[in-house]
């Protein structure tokens, strides 16, 4: 398993054209990524 925790708010560029994916944890049965996107908005129903 690879863990790259650190500060989740560092290294975020001021402007991006596409989504930026950063892998935080990568294991046999788990994968956690930080996703940074410009104007990302999702609506989840109640």
- Residue 35: the pLDDT is 85
**34 in Cβ contact with 21 (< 8 Å):** yes
Q: Compute the distance between CA of residue 16 and CA of residue 19 in angstroms, rounded to an integer.
A: 7
- Residue 29: the pLDDT is 92
Report pTM: 0.56
Q: Compute the distance between CA of residue 46 and CA of residue 23 in angstroms, rounded to an integer.
A: 30
| pLDDT averaged per 10 residues, the chain (length 46) | 70 78 87 79 59
What are the start-end ranges of the E strands in the chain?
A: 2-3, 20-26, 31-36
């Amino acid at each position: 398993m690879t863990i790259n925790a650190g500060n989740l708010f560092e290294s975020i560029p001021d402007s991006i054209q596409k989504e930026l994916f950063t892998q935080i944890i990568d294991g046999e049965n788990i994968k956690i990524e930080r996703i940074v996107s410009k104007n990302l908005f999702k609506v989840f129903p109640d």
